[in-house]
Amino acid sequence: MHLLRPPETLHDTPGSRLSHGGLLDTPAGLFTVLALEHRPVPPLAGSALPWLVYLTLPGNSHGTLALPAIRNDPEYGVEFVICRFGPVPDRGGLMLVIRHAFLPRQVGLSLDAPAVPSAQAVLLAEPALVGAAGSGDVRVWHSGVLRVGGLLHTHLEATAERPGLLAGPDWDVSPNRPPGTPRPVEVRAEPVGSYRGGTGQTGEQHSGVDALLTVPESDLRLSWTCHPLGITGTSVIPAS
């Protein structure tokens, strides 16, 4: 796990603000979370993805497309967009390009440019490898704890080196699990009242969950757990 760039604010107007939550080199490859602060939160656009996020070289018509997962919270006016790019061995000269109908123009960030840390999007806990199993065949990691406005976001994922390692009911993130069976990857918070919910995703080589929490008034203890592997990591987030 390596934080390539700290969180940065890429677009800021009276109507909306767009930040990324840190560009990470993870076991799943290049990863980031976008956070759009907007009131009202843009509605999901049915079957059409409202976001287009990709990596490209300037002047190149080809790019590495992210397949974003979206988690929004209308009450707090923040939409989180989880972006996975996969392995990108050569990042020299690349630009991160972001398009959305609520942005007045496309947003571009050169990965070679000096980073300008954001005052609005802040990592309260650093991204980390939680643990590994099978000589590193499956690695469990989290994206850190990102604060945007009154919300916290974290992503927890088990990433496999090859397809088939995460097959079977133990790795099922769907609601169809047997009663009382936890998700394979789970984020817990104490006190529990700060937890606003989570969504799971799965694929041939990953099983993950995104969790949203409110900024705590007292110290918040977070735990990231992978139940099939018996691996847990913890962090204490100080009160705001």
pLDDT tens by residue, 79-104: 899 999 988 888 888 999 998 877 77
- Coil, strand, or helix at residue 194? helix
Confidence of residue 21 (pLDDT cuts 50, 70, 90): very high
The C-alpha atoms of residue 83 and residue 22 are separated, in whole angstroms, by 11
- Using the predicted structure, report yes or no on whether residue 234 has a pLDDT greater than 90: yes
Amino acid identity, position 193 = G
pLDDT of residue 42: 58
On average, the pLDDT of the chain sits at 88
Distance CA 174, CA 15 (A): 36
Q: Which residue has the higher pLDDT, 67 or 57?
A: 57
Domains and CATH numbers, the chain: 2-110 (2.60.40), 121-237 (2.60.40)
Model confidence pLDDT, tens digit, residues 122-166: 999 999 999 998 888 999 999 999 999 999 999 999 999 998 899
The rounded percent of the chain whose pLDDT value lies above 70 is 95
| 135, 181 contact by CB (below 8 A) | no
Q: Per the confidence metrics, is the pTM higher than 0.75?
A: yes
Taking CA atoms, 143 is separated from 3, 24, 158, 163, in Å, by: 9, 8, 12, 22
Q: Is the pLDDT of residue 175 over 80?
A: no
